[in-house]
């Protein structure tokens, strides 16, 4: 973000009249930009117009919106990873009864399981 001079502040204040706010937003008196009521982070920045005079104030995500976006992205990645595991399991284990055959479900009766554990560990 550029330095907010008197000229920039005047442009911000002119543009503020056309802005629409969400319920969790307010104008910060110190810079005239839209801020988040929750984290007080800026939801707007100032950029000089390319090849001309004046400025525009595009929206941006405040820190709590960025965090929420990252969490949604991580959850989506986790969901996709689990879908991938499920697909691979379905392709690799044709018999459904084998789905429950896990080390945690093993009763320790089968001597071959020792080799299976050694295989996985190494």
Smallest distance from Zn ion to CB 31, Å: 15
Smallest distance from Zn ion to CB 9, Å: 23
Contacts (CB under 5 A) with Zn ion, residues 8-67: 36, 38-39, 41, 62, 64
Count of residues interacting with Zn ion (CB under 5 A): 6
CA pair distance 52, 82, nearest whole angstrom: 50
Q: Which is nearer to Zn ion, 37 or 86 (CB)?
A: 37
Name the residue with the smallest CB distance to Zn ion: 36
Helix runs in 22-109, H state only: 63-92
Cα–Cα–Cα angle for 23, 71, 42, rounded to 5 degrees = 40
List of residues 6+ apart from 42 with CB closer than 8 A: 1, 28, 31, 33, 34, 35, 36, 60, 62
Q: Which is nearer to Zn ion, 16 or 64 (CB)?
A: 64
Positions touching Zn ion (CB under 5 A) are: 36, 38-39, 41, 62, 64
């Amino acid at each position: 973000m550029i330095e907010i001079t008197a000229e920039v502040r005047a442009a911000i204040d002119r543009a503020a009249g056309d802005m629409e706010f969400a319920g969790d937003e307010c104008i910060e008196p110190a810079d005239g930009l839209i801020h988040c009521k929750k984290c007080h982070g800026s939801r707007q920045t100032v950029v000089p117009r390319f090849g001309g005079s004046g400025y525009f104030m595009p929206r941006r995500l405040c820190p709590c919106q960025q965090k929420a976006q990252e969490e949604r992205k991580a959850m989506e990645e986790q969901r996709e990873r689990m879908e991938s595991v499920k697909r691979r399991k379905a392709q690799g284990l044709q018999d459904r009864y084998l789905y429950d055959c896990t080390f945690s479900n093993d009763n320790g009766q089968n001597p071959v399981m020792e080799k299976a554990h050694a295989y996985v560990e190494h």
